[in-house]
Amino acid sequence: MDLQAYLDFEKKIHLEFSDKELLRQAFIHRSYINEHKDTGLEHNERLEFLGDAVLELVVTHFLYLRYPDDPEGQLTAYRSALVRTESISEVARKLGMNDVLMLSKGEAKDQGKARDYILANTFESFLGALYLDVGYDAAKLFIETHLLKNIDTIIDEGLWRDAKSYVQEKAQEVYNETPHYETLSEEGPDHNKKFVIAIYFGEKKIAEGQGNSKREAQQNAAQAALEKEHWLE
């Protein structure tokens, strides 16, 4: 990906980086480095680690101030809904991050759940780069502008509910079944595991979810089941 693509991306999001290579690094997936070992480039996982912390702080502070009477558990549920893979990847797509990703040929072909996961991680790595290059206030404003505006929809539509608890309640109510989960695959090194887990009502597979932990994958599977059964409407 040539540098012009990232200059165009800057214009689109109305930001300017001093370190253009840092901006580009935010979009380099590990799979690209594995396929192009002689480029001297670095993947974005360290930036993602930093950006994840920035995102959590900004979202937590926002919710703490916005809902002064809500208990910790409910605030945690709001935060989880805001930073879900699907929520963040949707924002990343709208911003055009998908167009400047540097992926292996294999990863580039996948446009499904796996791409959502990569985009959500890329959003976080971009936040890490933005924090380092422009500063905390810029990262905070970016998150507020593009992500936190979704909070009213999340609350109005009940999307903040814990997906596993809610899908269990609805499955027992509608089908008289208690959902169970099965691990379909487990890939990657210990520091970057990827789990794919399916949710079943009885013998029937309803949906799948993936994540860096079994818990995250189960939550995503539960959320997918809620959406498929139209229980969020």
Identify the structural domains of the chain with CATH numbers, from first to last.
3-156 (1.10.1520.10), 163-228 (3.30.160.20)
Q: For residue 55, count other CB atoms closer than 10 A to its CB.
A: 23
Catalytic-residue membership of 52: yes
Nearest to 5 by CA among 118, 96, 117: 96
Catalytic-residue membership of 162: no
Does the structure show a pLDDT above 80 at 113? Answer: no
Can you give the pLDDT at residue 144?
95
- Angle CA 200–205–211, to nearest 5: 75
Question: Which one of the listed residues 48, 52, 133, 216 is annotated catalytic?
Answer: 52
Decide if 35 contacts 104 (C-beta within 8 A).
yes
Give 84: exposed, middle or buried? Use CB within 10 Å, 0-12, 13-18, 19+.
Answer: buried
Can you give the pLDDT at residue 121?
94
The verdict on pTM exceeding 0.75 is no
Question: Which one of the listed residues 48, 86, 107, 124 is annotated catalytic?
Answer: 124
Read off the pLDDT of residues 28-37 as tens digits, 9 standing for 90 and up. 999 999 888 8
Can you give the pLDDT at residue 108?
73
